[in-house]
Amino acid sequence: MRFYQLRRLWLLIPLLLILTPMSSASISVDQSPSLVIYTYDSLLADPGYAFDRAFEVYAGLPNGSVQVNYLSDTGTILSRAIAEKNNPVADILIGIDNVLVHQAREENILTPYIPDGAEQLIDGLVDDLASDYLLTPYDYGVIALWYLNQEFEGDLDTEEFSLDQLLTEEFRSQLIVQDPRLSSPGLGFLLTSIALYGDDSDGILEGNWQDFWRSLSQETAITSSWGDAITRLYAEEDRTMMVSYTSSPAYGNCLWEDDTTTAVLPTVDGVQYGWQQIEGIGLVNNAPHTDLAMDFIDWFISEELQEQIHLNQWVYPARDGISAPDCYNTSIDPSTITPLNSLLSPDTVEQQLDMWLTDWEVSWIEGPVSSNDGLPINWIAALLLIPILRRRNKV
């Protein structure tokens, strides 16, 4: 019985192949290019915009033609692209910022591409990221101090705020910073201090950035990430201020009509200063699908995508002329901010960053210096400096 049924089935197969039309859609799926993108897992993720599916619709591609590999952070994106550079898998990298761009350039994993619509990008962003379009800016955030209005204790004038105020016990005991070796906003805040105080006492403010961090290390809480910092901000009653972005108040206001938080920037002689963290999208060198990747980059700076930045990325779009939603009225208008990036050129950051991070580590561990003998107050911390200083001498 089973043999008879099997024999009938084999006899039917040729007839079925003749009578059943081949689906043109299935052929196109099999033969269609698959664009591969590496990015970080929070890109346009809150509450969420499916940019991969949106591009497929825009480009008339079958569903599933764009493959997005979400990685934990931009460092991992770089590491993977570098490991694969002799036989690239990805066509596009999204999320490399104006600090990590130097590593991407050194490793030769990207190729410059000037996208259609580049003339619509905000002045200055291209030069501060990559003037040769090794990366094209798609968004930017401005590093700021973000605090809870009702819980914060002390006098704070948002129009006359100075970094020096952070050095008082009242502010330090409420502040959370992120480790600049591990966190993008943490690094942005370090660069803010270096730009304002100057690397060789030639900054806008009087003082020394290393001394600023030595003093700040007293009582200030430090975390390894922005996520850990915000958890502490809302979990610990005595921690009411953290390093974040000027657009942070918009998040609560837009989603829940919560206007109980404020961002503040350092102000000097009536001018608000802020470090811009600029994120870019780049074409992988020898990408498997170069033409399609170029089309995607063109689309990523178009109005269609850029209009999603405010309410899904919670920073500012790189394209000029994209209006912020009304709920951004609790955030600082980026047009009123003077970028600090012009005080630290990309070349300077590339050349000095490793030394700055070592100096920061020394300053943070060393802590305040005694005014009597010039020795660190904490002798245990002084002993911890020995391996750091040895490592620095090898740089």
* 323/253 Cα distance (integer angstroms): 17
- The span from the first CA to the last CA of the chain, in angstroms, equals 81
* 332/158 Cα distance (integer angstroms): 10
- Of all residues in the chain, the percent with pLDDT exceeding 70 is 84
Question: What residues have CB less than 8 Å from 282, skipping those under 6 apart?
Answer: 92, 93, 94, 96, 104, 110, 113, 134, 135, 136
Let me know how long the chain is: 395
* 70/50 Cα distance (integer angstroms): 13
Element (H, E) at 193: helix 184-197
* 182/178 Cα distance (integer angstroms): 8
Q: How far is CA 269 from the centre of its chain?
A: 29
Placement of tokens 């779009």 in the chain: 317
Cβ(140)–Cβ(277) below 8 Å: yes
Report the C-alpha dihedral over residues 156, 162, 163, 166, rounded to 10 degrees: -30
Domain range list for the chain: 32-140+277-325
Cβ(110)–Cβ(206) below 8 Å: no
* 233/250 Cα distance (integer angstroms): 17
pLDDT at 33: 62
* 344/157 Cα distance (integer angstroms): 27
Q: Which letter, b or e, does each residue of 339-352 get, where b requires 16 or more Cβ atoms within 10 Å of its Cβ? A: bbbebbebeebeee
Give the pLDDT confidence of 97-151 residue by residue, as tens digits: 999 999 999 999 999 999 999 999 998 999 999 999 999 999 999 999 999 999 9
Q: What tokens does 296 get?
A: 């995607």
* 160/71 Cα distance (integer angstroms): 40
* 209/382 Cα distance (integer angstroms): 19
The CATH-assigned architecture of domain 32-140+277-325 is: 3-Layer(aba) Sandwich (3.40)
* 184/380 Cα distance (integer angstroms): 29
Q: How far is CA 16 from the centre of its chain?
A: 55
Q: How far is CA 353 from the centre of its chain?
A: 17
Question: What residues have CB less than 8 Å from 109, skipping those under 6 apart?
Answer: 78, 81, 82, 85, 88, 93, 284, 285
Cβ(318)–Cβ(306) below 8 Å: yes
Report the C-alpha dihedral over residues 371, 375, 377, 379, rounded to 10 degrees: -170
Element (H, E) at 138: strand 136-148
Placement of tokens 């200055």 in the chain: 124
Q: What tokens does 376 get?
A: 């660190």
Give the pLDDT confidence of 4-15 residue by residue, as tens digits: 333 333 334 343
pLDDT at 5: 37
Placement of tokens 């030639």 in the chain: 202
pLDDT at 2: 35
Which stretches of the chain drop beneath a pLDDT of 70? 1-33, 201, 369-395
* 29/380 Cα distance (integer angstroms): 64
pLDDT at 368: 79
**Sequence-separated contacts (24+) of 234-239 with Cβ below 8 Å:** 237/151, 238/173, 238/174, 239/174, 239/175, 239/176
